[in-house]
A and B are shown apart, each in its own frame.
Chain A
Amino acid sequence: MNYLRHTLLLGLLLLCGHVSALEFKQVLTNESSVTFFYKQIGVPLDGKFNKFAAQITFDPAKIANAQARLDMDVASIDTGSADGDEAVVGKLWFNAKAYPAASFVSTGLKALGGNRYEASGKLSIKGRTLDVVAPVTFQATGTRGIFEGGFTIKRLDYAIGEGEWTDLGTVANEIQIKFHIVVNAAPVKK
C-alpha cells in the first residue's frame, strides 16, 4: 500500500511536468553541445567544442541551490577548417598550452517565469575572468531535462585574437556562445 502510494505520487509529479522532487545532475555529455557563432568578413561561421565537462545540480523547486560548471577543452575546438583548428590553439588565439581550459562557473540563477531562467556566472578564458549573464530555458520530459541558452561575448575582452587578429574587420568582436545540455534526474534522497 505504501509502495503503491509512492509510485502514484511519483507518477503524478512526473505528469505535472513540474518534477519538483527531482534533482537534475547527471549530464549526458554525448548528447550535449557547446557551440559558437561569429562573423568573418560578413560570412557567418560556427564551431564547437568537441570536448567539455559539465557539472550541474538543478532542482526546479529549489533554484537558489542550483549550480553549474562547464569546462571546455580549448584544444578540442572545431572551427570547421584545418587551417582554423591549427591557428586557434596558438598563442594569438586561445594559447591552449598555457590555458588549456575555458570555464563557466555559475554564481546565481533567477526564475523568469515558465521554463525561463537567467543564469549569471563567471566566464574564464585565457586567464581572464568576466561576469556573464545568460538566458536559459529548461525543458523536462520525465527524468530527462534539457538546458538551452546562450550569450554573446566580445572576444577582445579575453584577448582571443591578438596581434594582427585584433583587427575586427576580418573576425568580428562578437562571439555568440550557445549551449545545449542534456541532464538526467534522480529522485532527491530524503
Chain B
Amino acid sequence: MSTVERYNNTAIALHWLIALLIFIAFPLGLYMSDLKLSPTKLQLFSYHKWIGITVLILAVVRVIWRATHKAPALPDSISRLQQLGSHVVHGLLYVLLFAVPLSGWLMSSAKGFQTVLFGVLPLPDLVGKDKALGHLLEAVHQSLNYILLLLVVLHIAALIKHRFIDKDDILTRMLPKGKNA
C-alpha cells in the first residue's frame, strides 16, 4: 500500500459539493422536462437552473484552485497507461463542468427564458431569443449530459477498481480526513 499525498480541504469540499449538486441537477433535469406545464414544473426548472449555475461558479473556483495548487501526484504503482487514462477522464470532466451548465444557460437564453439566480440576481442572456437555436442547444445540453454521465460512470468504476482490486489510497485522498488519515 503506497501512501499518497492528499488533496487539501478546499479541493475536497469543492469536489464533493460539485458532485452532490450534479447528482441533484441531473435527475431533476430528466424528471422536470417530461412534466406537463404547471407551477411545480416552473419551480423545478428554476431550481435546476440555480443549481446548475452554482456548479458553474464552483467550477470556476475549482479551476482557480487547480491552477494555483499542484494536485497530488499519482502513485507509481499505477501504470503509465492508466495514469494517462485518468488524466484524460479528469480533463474531460473539467471541460464538462463548464460545458454542461453553459449549454443550459445558452439554451435558456435562446429560448427566451432568462436565468435569475435564486430569483433575485438576473444573469445576462448569452444569446438572443432564437427558437431554432434553442432547440439545437437543448440537444447539445442533453448530449453533453450523457457524455458527463458516461464519464462519471468511468470515474466511479475506476474508484471501485482502486479500492477493491488495487487496494490503494486513491479514494481516501479525496475524502475528508478521518478514519484513513
Residues of A within 8 A of B (CB): 40-45, 80-81, 83-84, 86-87, 164-165, 167, 169-171
A167's nearest neighbour on chain B, judged by CB, is B39
Q: List the A side residues contacting B39 at CB < 8 Å.
A: 164-165, 167, 169-171
Q: List the B side residues contacting A40 at CB < 8 Å.
A: 42
Asked whether, in the complex, the Cβ of B37 is within 8 Å of the Cβ of A87, the reply is yes
Residues of B within 8 A of A (CB): 37-40, 42-43, 46, 111-116, 119-120, 122, 129
A46's nearest neighbour on chain B, judged by CB, is B112
Q: List the A side residues contacting B46 at CB < 8 Å.
A: 41, 43
Asked whether, in the complex, the Cβ of A83 is within 8 Å of the Cβ of B37, the reply is yes
Partner among A42, A44, A164 whose Cβ is within 8 Å of the Cβ of B38 = A164
Given contacts A170-B42, A171-B39, 10 further A-B contacts (CB under 8 A): A40-B42, A41-B119, A42-B119, A43-B116, A44-B122, A83-B37, A164-B38, A164-B39, A164-B40, A169-B39
User: What are 6 A-B residue pairs whose CB atoms fall within 8 Å in the complex?
Assistant: A41-B42, A41-B46, A41-B116, A45-B113, A81-B112, A83-B37
Q: In whole angstroms, what is the CA distance A83 to B35 when docked?
A: 11
Partner among B37, B40, B113, B129 whose Cβ is within 8 Å of the Cβ of A43 = B113
Q: List the B side residues contacting A81 at CB < 8 Å.
A: 111-113
Asked whether, in the complex, the Cβ of A170 is within 8 Å of the Cβ of B43, the reply is yes
Q: In whole angstroms, what is the CA distance A156 to B138 when docked?
A: 33
Chain A binding surface SS class: mixed
Q: In whole angstroms, what is the CA distance A170 to B47 when docked?
A: 12
Q: List the A side residues contacting B129 at CB < 8 Å.
A: 80
B98 to chain A, nearest CB (A): 23
Q: List the B side residues contacting A44 at CB < 8 Å.
A: 114, 122
B139 to chain A, nearest CB (A): 16
A25 to chain B, nearest CB (A): 35
Asked whether, in the complex, the Cβ of B116 is within 8 Å of the Cβ of A80, the reply is no
Q: In whole angstroms, what is the CA distance A42 to B37 when docked?
A: 18
In this complex, the member of B39, B40, B119 whose beta carbon has the largest number of chain A beta carbons within 10 angstroms is: B39
Q: In whole angstroms, what is the CA distance A117 to B110 when docked?
A: 38
Q: List the B side residues contacting A41 at CB < 8 Å.
A: 42-43, 46, 116, 119
Q: In whole angstroms, what is the CA distance A98 to B79 when docked?
A: 73
Asked whether, in the complex, the Cβ of B37 is within 8 Å of the Cβ of A84, the reply is yes
Q: List the B side residues contacting A169 at CB < 8 Å.
A: 39, 43
Q: In whole angstroms, what is the CA distance A164 to B43 when docked?
A: 13
A61 to chain B, nearest CB (A): 42
A7 to chain B, nearest CB (A): 48
Q: In whole angstroms, what is the CA distance A42 to B121 when docked?
A: 9
A164's nearest neighbour on chain B, judged by CB, is B39
Q: In whole angstroms, what is the CA distance A83 to B33 when docked?
A: 11
Q: List the A side residues contacting B119 at CB < 8 Å.
A: 41-42
Listed from nearest, the 8 A-B pairs whose CB atoms lie closest are A42-B119, A170-B39, A42-B116, A80-B112, A41-B46, A83-B37, A87-B37, A170-B42
A166's nearest neighbour on chain B, judged by CB, is B39
B119's nearest neighbour on chain A, judged by CB, is A42
Q: List the B side residues contacting A86 at CB < 8 Å.
A: 37
Q: In whole angstroms, what is the CA distance A171 to B40 when docked?
A: 11
A43 to chain B, nearest CB (A): 5
B125 to chain A, nearest CB (A): 11
